[in-house]
């Protein structure tokens, strides 16, 4: 049978006092001076401002790059589609519209299709297009914009009336 008087007690009051004194003892009563606090706050503020500025600049550039990619792909799609229709058109007419104008293409089976700036206005891109009929080609000018990225160009696509 176990004798309670001889069994060691795990938490005698003396241990609790020792623990309390260890944690409650003040080691450093000096703290920071006003000057140290001001300098630390100044450096912290400067570092935060710089990091925030660089981060914002990076985000802005990433957004511009994404917008430019959209313009790039839209311009490619527009030119490819336009080339596809103009090459097989037997007659081309430029019809007035506001703003800019519309290109009407008559196909060999006498059906017609029209192309305007809406072909460029996908993926949130805004555009302005102007077509000019030349003897055997179409000269086109377009301005495309998305966010802060924009580009403009003038190019020509020739007909191929000799089948």
Partner 1 sequence: MFFPRFKKSTNNNGFSIIEALVGITLAALLLVAFTSLITQTIKINQANMSKLKATMYLQELIEIAKDLEQSATSTIFYNTGDPSPCTNCHPIVKGIAWEFDNDPLNNPETIDGFTRSMTISPVLRDWWSGNIVQTGGIDDPWTKMATATISWYDGFKYNTSTLETYLYYYGQ
Buried b (16+ CB within 10 A) or exposed e, 128-153: ebbbeeeeeebebebbbebeebeeee
**Contact set for partner 1, span 72-111 (CB under 8 A):** 72, 75-76, 79
DSSP letters, 8-25, are: PPS--HHHHHHHHHHHH-
* Nearest-angstrom CA–CA distance, 131 and 113: 15
* Nearest-angstrom CA–CA distance, 20 and 70: 66
Q: Which is nearer to partner 1, 68 or 106 (by Cβ)?
A: 68
**Residue 45 Cβ vs partner 1, minimum distance, rounded to whole Å:** 15
- Give how far the C-alpha of residue 27 lies from the chain's centroid of Cα atoms, to the nearest Å: 53
Four-residue CA torsion sign, 79, 85, 89, 92: negative
Q: Would you give the DSSP letter of residue 147?
A: T
**Residue 146 Cβ vs partner 1, minimum distance, rounded to whole Å:** 13
Q: Which residue has the tokens 């495309």?
A: 144
Report if residue 135 touches partner 1, rule: CB under 8 A.
yes
Report if residue 70 touches partner 1, rule: CB under 8 A.
no
Q: Which is nearer to partner 1, 1 or 35 (by Cβ)?
A: 35
**Residue 109 Cβ vs partner 1, minimum distance, rounded to whole Å:** 21
Report if residue 58 touches partner 1, rule: CB under 8 A.
yes
Identify whether the C-beta of residue 136 lies closer than 8 Å to the C-beta of residue 128. no
Q: Which is nearer to partner 1, 7 or 33 (by Cβ)?
A: 33
Report if residue 68 touches partner 1, rule: CB under 8 A.
yes
Q: Which is nearer to partner 1, 1 or 162 (by Cβ)?
A: 162
Q: Which of 22, 80, 98, 110 binds partner 1 (CB under 8 A)?
A: 22
Residues that bind partner 1 (CB under 8 A): 15, 18-19, 22, 27-28, 50, 54, 57-58, 61, 64-65, 68-69, 71-72, 75-76, 79, 132-137, 139, 151, 153-162
């Amino acid at each position: 049978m176990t004798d309670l008087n001889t069994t060691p007690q795990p938490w005698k009051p003396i241990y609790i006092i020792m623990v309390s004194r260890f944690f409650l003892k003040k080691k450093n009563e000096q703290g920071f001076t006003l000057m140290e606090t001001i300098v630390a706050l100044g450096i912290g503020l400067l570092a935060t401002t710089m990091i925030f500025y660089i981060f914002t600049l990076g985000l802005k550039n990433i957004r511009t790059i994404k917008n430019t990619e959209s313009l790039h792909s839209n311009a490619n799609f527009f030119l490819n589609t336009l080339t596809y229709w103009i090459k097989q058109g037997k007659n081309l007419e430029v019809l007035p519209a506001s703003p800019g104008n519309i290109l009407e293409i008559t196909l060999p089976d006498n059906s017609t299709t029209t192309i305007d700036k809406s072909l460029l206005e996908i993926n949130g891109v805004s555009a302005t297009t102007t077509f000019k009929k030349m003897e055997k080609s179409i000269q086109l000018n377009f301005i495309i914009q998305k966010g802060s990225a924009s580009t403009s160009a003038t190019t020509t696509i020739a007909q191929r009336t000799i089948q």
